[in-house]
Amino acid sequence: MKDLIIDRPALQALPDRLLWAVVTTVFWFIWFYLWLPWITLAAWVLSGYAGYLQYLIYDSQVDNARLFGTYLLVIQALGAVLLGWAFLEWWRFHGRDRRRPSADLTLEQLAAPFQLDPVSLAGWQMARRLVVSHDLHGRVVGAVVSEPALAPR
């Protein structure tokens, strides 16, 4: 897996690389700044009254904290609906398959919708190299069979 991953920033011009790295880092700092209410809330939970005062002063976010509680309730309700449905379906159908295993298609069944000759199709299914032609709607109309060979150089 490791050798499949192409992570070579050097393929970009150095200014591009630096620009994206710097801008991304700046973005993270902006995010940390915007997260101050969360950080303050965490400080309040962990250390008590002083943190609470700071949280209260910061943009009057206490109402938002109540709103946050409402969001949590909505998320719980949505999650319960999804998981409840999934459990119900699993309970009803687990290990019980109403569809019988289908037999593999016969050549005739495969060829019929395309109006192909089953004998020809059988030959094409064994061929190593085919040149296939189609009609205007993209349906197979014929094929020429040949053995693989190296192209003349």
Question: Which residues would be at the binding site for other proteins (CB under 8 A)?
Answer: 1, 4-12, 16, 20, 24, 27-28, 31, 34-35, 37-38, 59, 61, 64, 68, 71, 74-75, 78-79, 82-83, 85-86, 89, 97-105, 109-110, 113-114, 116, 121, 124-134, 137-138, 140, 143, 148-151
Q: Convert 2-16 to b/e letters by CB count within 10 Å (16 or more is b).
A: eeeeeeeeeeeeeee
Do 150 and 131 touch, CB atoms closer than 8 A? no
Torsion of CA 42, 44, 48, 52, to 10 degrees: 180
The nearest distance, CB 48 to other proteins, in angstroms, is 24
Kindly tell me which of 50 and 139 has the beta carbon lying closer to other proteins.
139
The nearest distance, CB 13 to other proteins, in angstroms, is 10
Do 37 and 55 touch, CB atoms closer than 8 A? yes
The nearest distance, CB 49 to other proteins, in angstroms, is 23
